[in-house]
Every structure is written in C-alpha cells, then in structure tokens.
Chains A and B, each alone.
Chain A
Amino acid sequence: GAVVSQHPSRVICKSGTSVKIECRSLDFQATTMFWYRQFPKQSLMLMATSNEGSKATYEQGVEKDKFLINHASLTLSTLTVTSAHPEDSSFYICSARWGGRDPDTQYFGPGTRLTVL
C-alpha cells in the first residue's frame, strides 16, 4: 500500500517551453501532496505543499509563477514548469501524505528528471 507514481520519469525539453509533471497516489487518498527538487548529489529541497482543492503554499525563494501546482483531486497533483530554462534542469520528486491511518508520514514517488536544453 501507499504507492505514489510520477509521470513522466524523464523529460527533455527546449528552453522556453512548459513541462507538466503528474503525481498520483495509486492506492490511497492523499490529503496533502508535496513537491521537492533534488540537485545532483544533493538533498531534497521542499518547493511547495498542496492540499486538494486549495492553492499551494510555496517555500521561500520558489517562484509560484514559474512552478505552477494544481491539486485537482485527492489522488492527483501536477507541477508545471513554465518557460523552462536550463537552470530548471533537476530531479523533481513528489510525495503524498495519507490523512487516514498514517497522517504524519510522506510516501514518495520515483521522481522525474527534467533536462532543459
């Protein structure tokens, strides 16, 4: 149980284009989803927290107009990187929290590697 998927696993795009990454909780309803960014050989940095049906809360220094988050349902959240540039190349990881039995534990997706040319 508590499986989280991400799609795509890898994407390459041209500078200036937008890329959408999906995060799905497959076997539970996620009250909260989180988006992280991980640079090579570094740790995960929280970008934003989203609750179903409400606006995402962004961490300090994260551009909300650059990284659009939509949490449309209890099983799906999307991250759109708008007008991507090479410096946006990174590994993006989502996680979901199950508000029922295990409210304080986050379950992570496998990540999406974004390369902007």
Chain B
Amino acid sequence: AQSVTQPDIHITVSEGASLELRCNYSYGATPYLFWYVQSPGQGLQLLLKYFSGDTLVQGIKGFEAEFKRSQSSFNLRKPSVHWSDAAEYFCAVAPLSGGYNKLIFGAGTRLAVHP
C-alpha cells in the first residue's frame, strides 16, 4: 500500500546534539518530497523539498535532508539542535499518482529539546 512512514512518534534530544528524523515512503515512482515543521499557534512551515537533482537538500534553519532512492527514505538532519527547534515535524510526499498535486503526510514526529 502507498504510504508515508515516520517511525518515531516522539524524540527527545539535548540542546546542541545532532538530530535525525526518519521518513520512508512507499510509492512506485519517486514522489516529490517535503519536510514541514508545525509549531503551536503557527502554520506548517516548509523546511525543505526535493523534486530531483542533488540528493542532499539544504533547507532553512540549518536543516538538511538526504534522499536515498534505494531505501525510499528522506531523512531530516540537523547537526546541532536549538531549544527553539522543539516542534512537530511532518514528512510529506506528493506522489505521481496524484499528478504531484496532493500532499500525503506522515504521522509526524514530536521533537522535545532538553536544555
């Protein structure tokens, strides 16, 4: 079945530590790939996206993500987490089957940051 999986529901890291949030998808053709962050009282903010080309994508706020076709993954990384990064992170895909028009979201990963 077609799906987007974020296996980690909740992650806690210490401020200054590195971070990796996992995302796997199950679609026949490589979809467009996105990472969004949702903070309380704010709308989802686009961190980065991958359509084609260089598989290492740089985003805002010091985030990056790497597309690995062989693993059907698009993991989000940050080398040093700040307390302000505490939020809910959503991986999303826009599959070819929807004409790349529809976003399918993963369940989200809630990030807590310890001082």
- Which residues of A come within 8 Å of B, CB atoms? 4, 6, 32, 34, 42-46, 49, 93, 95, 104-111
Contacts and interface: CB of A to CB of B under 8 A. Distances in A.
Given A43-B108, A44-B90, A108 B44 contact: yes
B111 interface: no
B103 A104 contact: no
A111 B43 contact: yes
A93 B105 CA distance: 13
A63 B68 CA distance: 38
Interface of B: 32, 34, 36, 41-46, 49, 51, 90, 94, 100-108
A93 to B, nearest CB: 7
A104 B34 CA distance: 10
B101 A110 contact: no
Contact of A106 (B42, B103, B106, B108): B103
- Overall SS of chain B's interface: loop
B107 A104 contact: no
Given A4-B43, A93-B43, A42 B36 contact: no
B103 A93 contact: no
Given A42-B107, A43-B107, A43-B108, A108 B43 contact: yes
A6 B41 CA distance: 12
19 contacts: A4-B43, A32-B101, A42-B107, A42-B108, A43-B90, A43-B106, A43-B107, A44-B44, A44-B90, A44-B103, A46-B102, A49-B102, A95-B44, A95-B103, A104-B100, A105-B46, A106-B103, A107-B46, A108-B45
A8 to B, nearest CB: 14
Contacts of B100: 104
A95 B103 CA distance: 10
B42 A104 contact: no
